Amino acid sequence: MPVTGTLYESAHAKINLYLHVTGRRPDGYHLLDSLAVFTGVGDMLALHPGHGAAGAVSLDITGPFGAGLVADADSNLILRAARLLRAEIGGTDGLEPVHVVLDKMLPVASGIGGGSADAAAALRLLLRAWPGNVPRERLMALATELGADVPVCIDQRAARMGGIGERLDPAPALPACGIMLVNCGEAVSTPAVFRARAPVFTPAASLPSAWPDVAAMVRDLSGLTNDLQDAACAICPTIRTVLDVLEGVPDCRLARMSGSGATCFALFDSPQAAQDAQAAVERPGWWVWAGPLHA
Ligand SMILES: C[C@](O)(CO)[C@H](O)COP(=O)(O)OP(=O)(O)OC[C@H]1O[C@@H](n2ccc(N)nc2=O)[C@H](O)[C@@H]1O
Ligand SMILES: Nc1ncnc2c1ncn2[C@@H]1O[C@H](COP(=O)(O)OP(=O)(O)OP(=O)(O)O)[C@@H](O)[C@H]1O
């Protein structure tokens, strides 16, 4: 079906409410047990009719964190996603050229999976624009090839991540709550954090099927860990400062780092409570967002 107007997909920030490193594969990738949730804030991708050869994808990057990224076919996850999808569909015949604009609202290399969310959003957008039937299991395989965080970003729904991130199981039913994200402005390399972690493993968590309220959720999460937090703090000591600030907010129920850092999150009883605390947390050079989880 020809693309006549603009198609949009949002790419929400992923937060790891806990992250246990449970083992290591022979190829060096780590086995994880994590509860990933998505927040109200995200990047936005717009797809317009494009120019050039069949299946061509051009990319412009705008937005507050766009300057740090290049629209390069080998490194940009959106263009890499397009290349993989073209190969999966079996060539460019009949594929309309398209132009994608990425509005980059999320800090880059910050533990909230912005690049992964963009890659997943690009796959969803291109599947709307291009003919071709890609079965769900092939889509998830393409996602895993793009990065360990990409599979969970395909549906952008809270999920329990296992394997290296490719195994997805239902999350406990979550209570309504508020969340604040704080990034100190220092990019942290995911491979460097995995390399720097202490070589110990934590068993997978045991979770209920539902948390009736924020207090119950926080009680369980408090007994769990982000096993990458100490290594990330050693590489980027400002993360500890951010956590100290969040832990000092009177209504904060739990403060922890997400993913491989440096972004930290704090949980609150409601989106309003999180937003009310925002001004007290802001510092020059810090990115702070507060609001609800992505429904
Ligand atoms: C830390 C998390 O954000 C938790 O959700 C993810 O596991 C990271 O996901 P990601 O950024 O999509 O990671 P990838 O791009 O696949 O991998 C980057 C690098 O991180 C390390 N890596 C990543 C995921 C994983 N399960 N084990 C690893 O050891 C590997 O050195 C890999 O080369
Ligand atoms: N569209 C994109 N947005 C962000 N980063 C991208 C994109 N394309 C490629 N990258 C590269 O991917 C790397 C990881 O970026 P991302 O923002 O996803 O990191 P992250 O938040 O630490 O992710 P994760 O939580 O999955 O580890 C960066 O080095 C960045 O240069």
Give the whole-angstrom CA distance, residue 158 versus residue 147.
18
To the nearest whole number, what is the mean pLDDT of the chain?
96
Ligand nearest to the CA of 193: 1
Task: Give the pLDDT mean for 194-209.
Answer: 97
Ligand nearest to the CA of 107: 2
Q: Encode pLDDT of 179-196 as tens digits.
A: 999 999 999 999 999 999
Q: Tell me, what's the pLDDT at 294?
A: 94
The residue to mutate among 190, 263, 264, having the most atoms of ligand 1 within 8 angstroms of its beta carbon, is 190
Q: Tell me, what's the pLDDT at 1?
A: 59
In this prediction the ipTM stands at: 0.95
Give the whole-angstrom CA distance, residue 209 versus residue 279.
35
Instruction: Return the sign of the alpha-carbon dihedral for residues 68, 116, 224, 192.
Output: negative
- Residue 42 scores a pLDDT above 90: yes
Q: Does 173-292 carry CATH code 3.30.70.890?
A: yes
Q: Is the pTM above the cut of 0.95?
A: yes
Q: Tell me, what's the pLDDT at 2?
A: 72
Q: Encode pLDDT of 222-234 as tens digits.
A: 999 999 999 999 9
**What percentage of residues in the chain have a pLDDT greater than 90?**
94
The yes-or-no answer to whether 7-167 and 173-292 have a common fold is: no
The helices-and-strands tally (H runs, E runs) of the chain is: 9, 10
Q: Tell me, what's the pLDDT at 68?
A: 81
50 assigned to a ligand binding site: no
Q: What angle do the packed helices 114-129 and 77-89 form, to 10 degrees? A: 40
Q: Tell me, what's the pLDDT at 198?
A: 94
Give the whole-angstrom CA distance, residue 181 versus residue 4.
37
Cβ contact 280:250 at 8 Å: no
Structural domain boundaries in the chain: 7-167, 173-292
Q: Which residues line ligand 1 (CB under 6 A)?
A: 16, 19, 29-30, 32, 34, 113, 116, 147-149, 164-165, 190-191, 194, 259-260
Q: Tell me, what's the pLDDT at 105?
A: 98
Pick 7-167's CATH classification: 3.40.50.12780, 3.30.230.10, 3.40.50.300, 3.40.50.261: 3.30.230.10
Question: Which of these, 291, 257, 290, 294, lies nearest to 18 by C-alpha position?
Answer: 257
Cβ contact 218:254 at 8 Å: yes
Cβ contact 14:38 at 8 Å: yes
**What percentage of residues in the chain have a pLDDT greater than 70?**
100
Q: Tell me, what's the pLDDT at 202?
A: 98
Give the whole-angstrom CA distance, residue 193 versus residue 185.
17
Q: What is the set of active-site residues?
A: 14, 149
